[in-house]
Amino acid sequence: MKIGAILCLTFLSLVSIFSVSVSAFNDPSFSHSLKVPSLPNIASFEDDLSYSLYHKSCPNVEGIIYKKVQEWVKKDPTLAPSLMRLHFHDCAVRGCDASILLDHSGSERSANVSKSLRGFEVINDIKAELEKKCPKTVSCADILTTAARDATVLAGGPFWTIPFGRKDGRVSLAKETTTIPMGRESITKLIEFFQSKGLNVLDLVVLSGAHTIGRSSCESVQHRLYDYKGTKKPDPSINHAYLNYLRRKCRWASENVYLDATTPRTFDVQYYHNLKNKMGLLSTDQLLYSDSRTKPIANALSFESSLFSNQFSVSMVKLANILDVNSQDKGEIRLNCNRVNY
């Protein structure tokens, strides 16, 4: 009986996710309400990627990357969500081309939205090791993509296979990071951003679930605690007990607070339960449970952890397959992830 109930719930949840996604995109009013940027230079280059690319040139590439990520995460577990976030920020601008790693004046890495990014030293360590074993072979973009997957696994999340062949971009501009979500956008703006990258509403809700682990700066949430939309009052959508908790934790903007206050170190579906209880940390978190386009998906994912894990893998593969035309055509295999070769 119990097994039957679980199977029934799983089926209903899948139907809920599928139906809301399809109906949202088939609704003319939904389409007309969005302004999706054109994509002259961003596309999915799945044909350019290969699961066997390094089989001969660097056969143990995934083993080397996993071992290094494991060493770093063992010393500092907070690096797991940091590597996932670093990967997202990379793919969100010029596709997954490691442009976020370039360290020079005016680069993406120097932008205000990037100031809290971490994990650069992990990627540098992996690159140094791979250059010893397989010189001039593995791109920094492939390293970062794989490290994010391994960080997810080490945090208790799912595993997925990764095709390789991403080139390292030679351009990185801080001004291009202004479209990356900062936690205050409307759901419509978030959907527009995700659609501009070839992702959909389901991907938005699922990838937001990465906030089941990790931390945010208090600076990102203080406006909700003290002066929501210029009212000099807190955001009325915040659970009262949670509001008191956040005010204790976030006396200073420089402090950090867990994205999931309930199970902050466990990769699970508690994030979605928190939204039901009005305990989403960022405005963009909580809005997922108040918008008719995203709430049914968030609700369905909260019921069955296997649904979340499976779809998270799918959405992360889609994210990692966002590539830029120029980066692929004019890219390189960097010898040092922090700078172009010449």
User: Could you tell me if residue 36 is inside a domain?
Assistant: no
How many residues are there in the chain? 342
Tell me, yes or no, whether 117 and 227 share the same domain: no
Please report which helix (H) or strand (E) contains residue 67, including its range: helix 61-75
Higher pLDDT, 308 or 33: 308
Output the domain CATH number for residue 121.
1.10.520.10
pLDDT at 13 over 70: no
**Same domain flag for 85 and 164:** yes
Count structural domains, the chain: 2
167 and 225 co-located in one domain: no
Q: Which of the following is catalytic: 55, 87, 89, 104?
A: 89
Same domain, 106 and 203: no
The pLDDT, as a whole number, for residue 326 is 86
Q: Does position 279 have pLDDT exceeding 50, yes or no? A: yes
212 labeled binding residue: yes
On whether 32 is known to bind a ligand per the annotation, the reply is no
Residue 280 within any structural domain of the chain: yes
The answer to whether residue 44 is domain-embedded is: no
Sign of the Cα torsion 272, 178, 165, 105 reads negative
Q: Does residue 45 register a pLDDT over 70? A: no
Domain assignment of residue 106, yes or no: yes
Which tens digit of pLDDT belongs to each residue from 292-335? 999 999 999 999 899 999 999 999 999 999 999 988 999 999 99
Determine the structural domain holding residue 156 and report its residue range: 53-176
Domain membership flag for residue 284: yes
155 and 218 in one domain? Answer: no
**Same-domain check for residues 57 and 170:** yes
Where does a domain end: 124, 150, 176? 176
Q: Is residue 253 part of a domain?
A: yes
108 is in an annotated binding site: yes
- Residue 42's beta-bridge partner residues? 324
**pLDDT bucket at 48, cuts 50 / 70 / 90:** confident
Is 339 within a domain? Answer: no
Shared-domain flag, residues 138 and 159: yes
Task: Provide the angle, in degrees to the nearest 10, between the axes of the packed helices 140-154 and 120-133.
Answer: 120
Q: Are residues 83 and 171 in the same domain?
A: yes
At 265, phi and psi to the nearest 5? -110, 10
Give the type of residue at 9. Answer: L
Catalytic annotation on 89? yes
- pLDDT for 166-198, tens place per residue? 999 999 999 999 999 999 999 999 999 999 999
Q: State the pLDDT confidence band at 20, using cuts at 50, 70 and 90.
A: very low
Clarify whether residues 84 and 166 are in a common domain: yes
The more confidently predicted of residues 171 and 36 is: 171
Instruction: Determine the residue type at 85.
Output: R
Q: Is the pLDDT of residue 148 over 80?
A: yes
Question: Do 213 and 105 belong together in one domain?
Answer: no
Among 45-59, 123-137, 192-206, the least confident range: 45-59
pLDDT, mean over the chain: 89
Residue 275 burial (C-beta neighbours within 10 Å; 0-12, 13-18, 19+): buried
| In a shared domain, residues 150 and 218 | no
Say if residue 25's pLDDT is above 90.
Answer: no
What local confidence, expressed as pLDDT, does residue 31 receive? 34
pLDDT at position 33: 36
Q: What is the CATH number of the domain that holds 216?
A: 1.10.420.10
The answer to whether the annotation marks 262 as part of a ligand binding site is no
Of 101, 40, 44, whose CA–CA distance to 322 is shortest? 44
For 56-99, what is each residue's pLDDT tens digit? Answer: 999 999 999 999 999 999 999 999 999 999 999 999 999 999 99
- Residues 162 and 271 grouped into a single domain: no
169 assigned to some structural domain: yes
pLDDT digits (tens, 9 = 90+) for 215-251: 999 999 999 999 999 999 999 999 999 999 999 999 9
